Amino acid sequence: MEKLVVNLAYIVSASLFIFGLKGLSHPRTAVRGNMLGALGMFIAVLITLVDKRIVDYSTLILGLVIGAAVGTFLALKVQMTAMPQLVAVFNGLGGGASALVAGSALYEAVNPNTVFATASALSGMIGAVTFFGSGVAFAKLQGLIKERPIRFSGEQATKAVLLVVALLLSYKLALSPDKTYLFWFILIVSSVLGVLLTIAIGGADMPVVIALLNSYSGLAASATGFVLENNALIISGSLVGASGIILTNLMCKAMNRSLLNVLFGGFGEIVSTQEDDVYAGKVKATSPEEVALLLEGARRVVIVPGYGMAVAQAQYAVRDLYNLLENQGVQVEFGIHPVAGRMPGHMNVLLAEVDIPYDKMKELEDINPLFEQTDVVIVIGANDVVNPLANTDPKSPIAGMPVLEVWKAKTVVVIKRSLSPGFAGIPNPLFTMDNTLMLFSDAKKALQEIVTALKES
């Protein structure tokens, strides 16, 4: 009877998670959706606390208090620009927790069978890869280790060997579930694999990696659900797994690359280019005052933010410019590339932080046809996502990648500190086009100066 009540409660939780995710289909319903999800989690925790197997509550209270305190602190203190790091940390902790729970269950099991041991091994593998992969992703995003891919000769072979070893160990554990020590070897091998998989990936590919790790954290929870024979874990885990897979897929499409290419392709290594030849004498520099003049005569302006906006913390200056222009009757919209920033939706969150209405944030397919009717485009700290070579040069590393066709506007102002190449390591012919003006400056400073100039005139 008790088991029945508990299981019914778990189904209620799982249903609330589904309703919660459904709520995220619109900004209006999203807050309520998230609360439904939290309610589902609350119910699941409460019903678990009455489980007869629990004999000691002091440990639990201690763990819950520590976890809640740290979680609350992180959630309230994090800067919106640092959201990718935080999500990486949470992904890692979720995956790690699933692996540890599976390990613990393996030791508790009285008579573990093959299914049980296989699920434990899988949970350990995926969980450890997620934990250490996320750790490396965090370190890269936080600038603790260099963002460029770190590679060495024979690394693909090393990764393949590690994967095979982890699978062989899992197979051994599945055949003889009483050899619990094998679980630790699986964890160690998978941890190294997690580090190697992520360390080889460069900064601008982070959106893919974070989405993939998100998926893994869900799959690890699902695998643990098989270990504990718990439907709540299986359902929730597979929902998150599906979510991560969808996002990973979207990110890969937005770069016109396959997942395998992102993970193993060696993109973003420093390529030597003859920038001087490409840019020599063809680049026109401009000043904030000149841009202000241009904007005064404009009726329609599109702002294209990139990772540079986040780095310079320029979103507040963007808002000031937006408000000023809107007050003067200029139509302002934002063109957002799916992989702009370091995680899916990164730019949108930064703009939402400064009160830009979400209906002003346009997706690539929606904004591209509108550039022709646009007077001024302001590109802020973006490079590869506005590179025309993606459309024109089939040999370019970004060939076929959907880009924002900003050059179709009357005038393009690119705010950038220098002519240095973006992540793809290639020059950008946009900078030399007749209708392009370069404003060499820090994004925040440049925008503030444009706003001042606009106000003075």
Partner 1 sequence: MEDFILYFTVFVLSMFVGFEVITKVPPTLHTPLMSGSNAISGITIVGALISAGSHHSTLTTILGFTALVFATINVVGGFMVTHRMLQMFRRKD
Q: Which residues are catalytic?
A: 384
Tell me if 12 contacts partner 1 by CB under 8 A.
no
Tell me if 414 contacts partner 1 by CB under 8 A.
no
Stretch that binds partner 1, among 35-43, 149-157, 404-412, 430-438 (CB under 8 A): 35-43
Would you say 129 and 193 are in contact if contact means Cβ atoms under 8 Å apart?
Answer: yes
Identify which of residues 58 and 274 has a Cβ nearer to partner 1 in the complex: 58
Tell me if 142 contacts partner 1 by CB under 8 A.
no
Residue type (1 letter), 367: I
Which residues lie below 8 Å from residue 419, measured CB to CB, with a gap of 6+? Answer: 275, 279, 283, 427, 431, 438
The distance of closest approach from Cβ of residue 164 to partner 1 in the complex, given in angstroms and rounded to an integer, is 25
Residue 411 φ/ψ, nearest 5 degrees: -135, 140
Tell me if 239 contacts partner 1 by CB under 8 A.
yes
**Alpha-carbon distance 218 to 212, whole Å?**
10
**C-alpha of 281 from chain center:** 38
Tell me if 2 contacts partner 1 by CB under 8 A.
no
Residue type (1 letter), 7: N
The distance of closest approach from Cβ of residue 260 to partner 1 in the complex, given in angstroms and rounded to an integer, is 21
**Alpha-carbon distance 291 to 39, whole Å?**
50
> Of 12, 192, 195, 228, which one interacts with partner 1 (CB under 8 A)?
228
**Alpha-carbon distance 66 to 48, whole Å?**
19
**Alpha-carbon distance 426 to 416, whole Å?**
15
**Alpha-carbon distance 308 to 281, whole Å?**
25
Tell me if 256 contacts partner 1 by CB under 8 A.
no
Tell me if 70 contacts partner 1 by CB under 8 A.
yes
**Alpha-carbon distance 147 to 153, whole Å?**
19
Structure tokens at 280: 């020599």
How many residues are present in the chain? 457
Q: Which of residues 323-342 bind partner 1 (CB under 8 A)?
A: 336, 338
Tell me if 179 contacts partner 1 by CB under 8 A.
no
Identify which of residues 23 and 427 has a Cβ nearer to partner 1 in the complex: 23
The distance of closest approach from Cβ of residue 291 to partner 1 in the complex, given in angstroms and rounded to an integer, is 26
The distance of closest approach from Cβ of residue 153 to partner 1 in the complex, given in angstroms and rounded to an integer, is 34
**Alpha-carbon distance 214 to 230, whole Å?**
21
Identify which of residues 34 and 261 has a Cβ nearer to partner 1 in the complex: 34
> Of 75, 168, 285, 399, which one interacts with partner 1 (CB under 8 A)?
75
Q: Which of residues 294-323 bind partner 1 (CB under 8 A)?
A: none
Stretch that binds partner 1, among 95-103, 303-311, 325-333, 374-382 (CB under 8 A): 95-103
Stretch that binds partner 1, among 61-69, 271-279, 403-411, 445-453 (CB under 8 A): 61-69
Residue type (1 letter), 253: K
Structure tokens at 175: 């055949």
Nearest to 204 by CA among 422, 387, 417, 415: 422
> Of 1, 2, 4, 53, which one interacts with partner 1 (CB under 8 A)?
53
> Of 103, 194, 268, 421, which one interacts with partner 1 (CB under 8 A)?
103
Tell me if 255 contacts partner 1 by CB under 8 A.
no
Identify which of residues 110 and 157 has a Cβ nearer to partner 1 in the complex: 110
Nearest to 170 by CA among 157, 184, 158: 184
